[in-house]
C-alpha cells in the first residue's frame, strides 16, 4: 500500500564529516595505513537506518565540486569554510564503492547541492504517496517539512534520532508556519553556509519580527513601526536580507534523472561487500551485514591497530604495548604488580608509586576516578614535587594534557605520556620491594 512506502534520502557529506571528527583523537587506521574513520561513520549510520527504520526506498546524496547557482549569485557563499580534510577526500571514492556493494543508489547533480536533490525527490515522493525522511543534521531542511516529508536528524553518541514533523518545527524555531523558516534564515543568516542575513539580527530577534509581521517582506515594508539600530539595519540591508533568503531556499526543481522506483531497497552484493569490509577491517559491520562467520582471516593475519577487530572469527583483540628488552634497556625495571617503571634521577623524586603499561584503548574512565580518589586524598603522604596541595584534582594525572589544578605542583608529563599510562596506588596498599628504586 502507498502508506507503507518509506523513502530515506541521506545527505552523505555531514555523515562523513561526523565520522571523521568522532574518531579524531583515536582514528581508525587499517594495517596498511588507510584512515577509515569517515567511511566507518557513514557506513555505521546507514546500517542503523536500514536495521531500525526498515526503509522500502533508500538513496545516498552527495554534493559535487562544481559551483552551484548560489555561488554565481553570491561568490562568498560557503567561502569561509576550511579545505576538506585529506582523509575525507580519500573516503569519498570509497563511499561510491561501498554504495555499489550495498546496491544503494548514489545521487549527484552537477550545479546543484545535495539539498536541492533531496528537496526535489521529496516533493516527487509526496505526490506519489511516499513518506519521506530527509536524513541530515542541517536545519535548512525544516522549510520542506510536511505531514509526509519529515526531517530526520541523526542522534549524537547513543542518543536516538530526532524526527521533526510540522508541529515540531514550529515549536523548535518559534514559528507560526513552516514556510517562515526561509524568512528566518533570510533575517538571521546562516553561519554554516556564510549566508550574511541582517547585521545585528540573530535567531531570537528574527523570531520576534516574524511573530510581529508574519514574513520578511512585511518586516522590510513595516520598518516605520521599529526604531533604533534595528530599524536602521533593516532599511540599510534590505537587499542583503532578500539575497540571504534566496540563498537559503532549497530548490525543488533540480534536474534529477533517477525515478523513485530506481531507489527501491534490494539485497547487497554480499561477496563484494565481504571483500571490501575485510580490506577496510570492519569486523563488527561485517558480522552485521555478511553474517556471524565473517572474519579477517581471508585477507589479514595481523592485529588491528584499533583493538576492536576479531582475527579469525575469535574475540576482539586489543593492541598490545611494544615489547622491551630488559637486558638492553637498563632504565626499564619491573614495577610492583607486573607493570614497567622508569628509572632516572628525576623520576626517583617525581614519579608516582606504580606505573603500569597500558594503551589508549585500554584506558577507561575508571582510571580517572581512581586517580582522583587516591591521588588527592588528604591522607596521601606528601612527596616532593608530586603532591597536589588540595583534595581536588581537575584531571586524571595520567592524562594531564590541558588542565590541572592551579595549586598542583605535579611536574609536566609530556615525556612520560609517550612512555606509559600511569596507575596510582597508595604506598601502604602496594609494598615496594627493596630491590626496586623509588619511582
HSE, side-chain direction, 13 A CA sphere, residue 342? 20
Whether 380 is in a domain gets the answer: yes
Which of these three, 248, 276, 303, is where a domain ends? 248
Residue 269 lies in a domain: no
Q: Does residue 307 form part of some domain?
A: no
- Domain extent, residue 217, equals 2-248
205, 105: one domain = yes
Does residue 206 share a domain with residue 83?
yes
Q: Is 267 contained in some domain?
A: no
Q: Are residues 383 and 240 in the same domain?
A: no
104 in any annotated domain: yes
To 10 degrees, the CA torsion angle through 174, 176, 179, 181? -10
In a domain, 427, yes or no: no
Cell match 515549536: residue? 171
H-type helices in 129-224, by residue range? 166-173, 180-188, 203-213, 216-221
248, 273, 300 - which closes a domain: 248
Q: Is residue 318 one of the residues assigned to a domain?
A: no
- 354 and 243 in a common domain: no
Q: Which of 115, 99, 94, 86 is nearest to 46 (CA)?
A: 99
Hey, is 334 helix, strand or coil?
Answer: strand
Residue by residue, pLDDT tens for the chain (439 residues) are 445 899 999 999 999 999 999 998 889 999 999 999 999 999 999 999 999 999 999 999 999 989 999 999 999 999 888 889 999 999 999 999 999 999 999 999 999 999 999 999 999 999 999 999 999 999 999 999 999 999 999 987 778 899 999 999 999 999 999 999 999 999 999 998 999 999 999 999 999 999 999 999 999 999 999 988 999 999 999 999 999 999 999 999 999 999 999 999 999 998 898 899 999 999 888 888 777 777 777 544 333 333 333 323 333 333 344 443 443 333 333 333 344 343 333 333 333 434 444 444 444 443 333 344 344 444 444 444 444 444 333 444 444 444 443 444 444 444 444 333 444 444 444 444 444 444 4
pTM of the complete model beyond 0.85: no
**What's the structural domain count of the chain?**
2
Q: Are residues 135 and 21 in the same domain?
A: yes
Which residue, of 202, 226, 248, is where some domain finishes?
Answer: 248
Q: For position 210, which CATH number holds?
A: 3.40.50.1010
**Cβ atoms 114, 11 nearer than 8 A:** yes
The answer to whether residue 279 sits within a structural domain is no
- What are residue 35's DSSP bridge partners? 29
Amino acid at each position: 500500500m502507498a502508506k507503507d512506502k518509506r523513502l530515506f534520502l541521506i545527505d552523505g557529506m555531514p555523515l562523513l564529516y561526523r565520522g571523521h571528527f568522532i574518531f579524531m583523537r583515536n582514528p581508525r587506521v587499517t594495517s596498511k595505513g588507510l584512515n577509515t574513520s569517515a567511511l566507518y561513520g557513514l557506513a555505521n549510520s546507514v546500517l542503523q537506518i536500514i536495521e531500525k527504520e526498515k526503509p522500502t526506498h533508500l538513496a545516498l546524496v552527495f554534493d559535487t565540486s562544481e559551483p552551484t547557482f548560489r555561488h554565481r549569485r553570491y561568490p562568498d557563499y560557503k567561502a569561509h569554510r576550511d579545505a576538506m580534510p585529506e582523509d575525507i577526500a580519500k573516503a569519498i571514492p570509497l563511499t561510491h564503492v561501498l554504495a555499489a556493494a550495498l546496491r544503494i543508489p548514489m545521487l549527484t547533480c552537477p550545479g546543484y547541492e545535495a539539498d536541492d536533490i533531496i528537496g526535489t525527490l521529496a516533493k516527487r515522493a509526496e505526490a506519489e504517496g511516499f513518506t519521506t525522511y530527509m536524513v541530515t543534521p542541517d536545519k535548512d531542511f525544516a522549510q520542506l517539512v510536511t505531514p509526509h516529508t519529515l526531517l530526520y536528524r541523526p542522534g549524537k553518541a547513543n542518543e536516538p534520532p530526532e524526527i521533526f514533523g510540522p508541529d515540531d518545527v514550529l515549536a523548535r524555531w518559534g514559528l507560526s508556519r513552516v514556510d517562515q523558516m526561509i524568512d528566518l534564515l533570510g533575517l538571521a543568516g546562516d553561519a554554516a553556509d556564510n549566508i550574511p542575513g541582517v547585521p545585528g539580527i540573530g535567531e531570537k530577534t528574527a523570531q520576534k519580527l516574524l511573530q510581529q509581521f508574519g514574513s520578511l517582506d512585511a518586516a522590510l515594508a513595516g520598518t516605520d513601526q521599529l526604531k533604533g539600530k534595528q530599524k536602521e539595519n533593516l532599511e540599510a540591508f534590505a537587499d542583503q536580507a532578500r539575497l540571504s533568503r534566496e540563498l537559503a531556499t532549497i530548490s525543488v526543481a533540480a534536474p534529477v534523472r533517477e525515478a523513485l522506483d530506481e531507489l527501491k531497497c534490494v539485497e547487497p552484493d554480499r561477496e563484494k561487500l565481504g571483500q571490501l569490509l575485510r580490506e577496510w577491517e570492519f569486523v563488527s559491520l561485517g558480522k552485521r551485514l555478511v553474517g556471524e562467520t565473517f572474519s579477517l582471516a581471508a585477507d589479514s593475519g595481523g592485529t588491528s591497530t584499533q583493538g576492536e577487530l576479531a582475527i579469525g572469527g575469535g574475540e576482539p583483540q586489543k593492541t598490545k604495548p611494544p615489547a622491551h628488552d630488559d637486558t638492553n634497556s637498563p632504565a626499564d625495571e619491573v614495577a610492583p604488580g607486573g607493570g614497567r617503571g622508569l628509572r632516572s634521577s628525576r623520576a626517583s623524586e617525581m614519579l608516582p608509586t606504580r606505573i603500569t603499561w597500558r594503551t589508549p584503548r585500554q584506558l577507561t574512565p575508571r582510571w580517572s576516578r581512581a586517580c582522583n580518589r587516591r591521588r588527592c586524598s588528604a591522607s596521601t603522604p606528601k612527596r616532593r614535587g608530586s603532591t597536589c596541595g588540595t583534595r581536588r584534582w581537575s584531571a586524571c594525572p595520567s592524562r594531564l594534557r590541558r588542565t590541572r589544578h592551579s595549586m598542583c605542583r605535579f611536574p609536566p608529563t609530556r615525556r612520560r605520556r609517550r612512555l606509559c599510562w600511569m596507575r596510582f596506588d597508595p604506598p601502604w596498599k602496594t609494598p615496594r620491594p627493596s630491590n626496586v628504586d623509588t619511582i
